[in-house]
Structure 1
């Protein structure tokens, strides 16, 4: 079992994330993460699981700081990050709130940059 799968099992086993969040994260791991590169995506997968759980539980959402998003928007990887987040939204069958979409784009840019 990969380190990301273990992390998801731990979060799910402690009721920190929902079954839906775990399922979406597992699909994202299969879609985007090459074996051996899991460590680069730890923050992304953890944030995705928590974000989807917050949305399902109707918790308060916060956006990343504006100056941080300005850097993300300037990245050469932003287009790819945006496509990845759109794919995630499509398998969730829902539009992601802007706050969570921005954080996910930020995490994808970071992972793709490393």
Structure 2
């Protein structure tokens, strides 16, 4: 997981993500990422770190376009992606806002289809 870990270290060292975001990203990598599929999760892990940081900093949130989410909901990987996001939420103090939940589901679906 060296490339993902290096990416997180850079985001953290530049104060782009918070300690809480870093911790959750590390747990997510441990749970879902294998050495042979690390590249597939680059966008997901980056987005997760940024999402948690936006939430912790009370920054504005935006949802993905509905047209994209309609396509994502048709994916055979959608149900598993939603379960993966539920696991992430179980590691947090509260639920993710719907906007961020949608993006993470999208990234999990994309990682499964690559």
TM-score bin, normalised by smaller chain: over 0.9
In the alignment, which residue of structure 2 is the partner of 1:6? 6
Shift of 1:63: 0.3
Tell me the alpha carbon deviations over residues 19-71 of structure 1, each in whole angstroms, 9 at most, x when there is no partner: 00000000000000111211110000000000000000000000000000000
Q: How does 1:19-98 map to 2 (within 5 A)?
A: 19-98=19-98
Q: Secondary structure at the match of 2:11?
A: helix
The 4+ residue runs of structure 1 with deviation greater than 3 A are: none
Q: Secondary structure at the match of 1:72?
A: helix
Moved more, 101-110 or 28-37: 28-37
RMSD: 0.7
Alignment TM-score, normalising by the size of structure 1: 0.98
Q: Secondary structure at the match of 2:15?
A: coil
Uncovered stretches (5+) of structure 1, i.e. residues with no partner: none
Alignment TM-score, normalising by the size of structure 2: 0.98
